[in-house]
Amino acid sequence: MTFNITRRALTRGLAALAIATTALTGLAQGALAETSLRMAVPDPAGSSVGRAATRFAELVAEKTGGEVTVEVFPDGVLFGGDQNAAVNQLGSGALDGLILASSVYASFEPKMNAISLPYLFSDYDQLKAYLGGEPGDELLASLDRFGIHGLGFFLRTFRDVTTKDRAITKAEDFKGLTLRTPNNPLFVALFQALGANPTPMAFSEVYTALQLGAIEGQENPVEVPYNNKFAEVQGQLNITQHLADSFLVALSNNAWQSIPEAHRDAVQQAADEMIAEHDAEEIAAEQEIIAKLKEQGMQVNHFADGELARVQEIARGIYPQFEAQIGAEFMQKSLDFVKK
């Protein structure tokens, strides 16, 4: 009798143990199924790129049922503010994800310079079609050799020049202007052709350099002087719209491979949806930001009649300098695309 009772107890105990083991295994598998990625962005969380990264993270979590999560790290904290180093870290897998300007990637893949050929695009519809079409796909594919998986581009509004007190309304107004540019040969060549004194400088140094008078101006999409309070040290907003730039949303190949195959399409869809939303918001916000900068005391200047055409002619004169870098075939493909 005692043996039978013990045996039944043992059976019940083994059954309970089996149930517990199954539950624990299920929990462990659930924990292992979740892929957590860290995405670095160069700007503050409230900036355009910061908001885009946050929205991407929301959409990834939504579309994967929380199985893939993205944590956003703003202000360049994961790469010490060194944007070229960030690209290297992404390629090596030290960074999982990165949103960074395509003009920075041009130091690694010269084809990216095609996006920023001055006055290439006549409007934002043309720019969106380029980034989301065959040329953009070719640029994304060109990053594979660096260990980078590109998810897509979202546009930045066209770049404008701010200055302390010099209004730019004609081509001659660029003469002798000490202007901060990114460390990109195309940007430097453009402003040299216009007669300015381009001065490559890390963005983290720009406000202080403007404040101290080491440089007279800078050029960026209007949301940059607005978010970084440049109206405190710059009095003139010159609507030059001289070239386009974009932000590239990318993961390291290691991070991409770490995402379960069943969720990769969802992550790509999250990127596509965020990009479409962001582009519409960015374009709509441009005029609002210009109005806000004007309220903060900046004078808004436009080219005088006939001067835009003069500036465009000078600017497009630098195209041949970059044909070899960009590649004659891809450059011609880009020129043909915008002529359609």
- Say whether both 232 and 316 belong to one domain: yes
- Say whether both 238 and 299 belong to one domain: yes
Angle between helices 319-326 and 185-193 (to 10 degrees): 170
- Say whether both 335 and 232 belong to one domain: yes
Lookup: tokens for 250: 């990318």
- Say whether both 77 and 40 belong to one domain: yes
What pLDDT sits at residue 103? Answer: 87
Query: Does any domain span residue 94?
Result: yes
Rounded (5°) CA angle 51-44-61: 35
Listed in sequence order, the DSSP H helices in 145-227 are 185-193, 206-212, 223-227
- For residues 334 and 324, give the distance between their C-alpha atoms in angstroms, rounded to a whole number: 14
Residue 199 phi, psi (nearest 5): -130, 95
Closest CA to 187 of 173, 201, 176, 175: 201
Question: Are 307 and 169 a contacting pair, CB within 8 Å?
Answer: yes
- For residues 143 and 156, give the distance between their C-alpha atoms in angstroms, rounded to a whole number: 20
Angle between helices 124-132 and 328-339 (to 10 degrees): 130
Listed in sequence order, the DSSP H helices in 161-202 are 185-193
- Kindly report the number of other CB atoms within 10 A of residue 6's CB atom: 10
Question: Are 34 and 73 a contacting pair, CB within 8 Å?
Answer: no
Bridge partners (DSSP) listed for residue 219: 161
- Say whether both 147 and 191 belong to one domain: no
What DSSP designation does 149 have? E
- Say whether both 215 and 184 belong to one domain: yes
Run means of pLDDT, 10 residues per run, the chain, 340 residues = 40 39 37 80 91 98 97 96 94 98 91 96 96 97 97 96 98 98 91 98 93 97 93 98 96 98 98 97 96 98 98 97 94 94
When divided into structural domains, the chain yields a total of 2
Closest CA to 102 of 180, 178, 188, 42: 42
How much of the chain is in helix, strand and coil states, percent to nearest 5? 55, 15, 30
- Residue-number span of the structural domain to which 101 is assigned: 34-156+246-284
- Say whether both 278 and 300 belong to one domain: no
- For residues 212 and 325, give the distance between their C-alpha atoms in angstroms, rounded to a whole number: 36
Rounded (5°) CA angle 223-94-41: 10
What pLDDT sits at residue 94? Answer: 97
Domain with 149 in it: what CATH number?
Answer: 3.40.190.170
Residue count (the chain) = 340
- Say whether both 300 and 321 belong to one domain: yes
The bridge status of strand 68-73 relative to strand 197-200 is unpaired
Place of tokens 């897998």: 93
Sheet holding 148-155, edge to edge: 68-73, 35-40, 97-101, 246-252, 148-155
What pLDDT sits at residue 24? Answer: 37
Query: Does any domain span residue 9?
Result: no
What pLDDT sits at residue 29? Answer: 37
Lookup: tokens for 127: 């720019």
- For residues 21 and 340, give the distance between their C-alpha atoms in angstroms, rounded to a whole number: 64
- Say whether both 46 and 165 belong to one domain: no
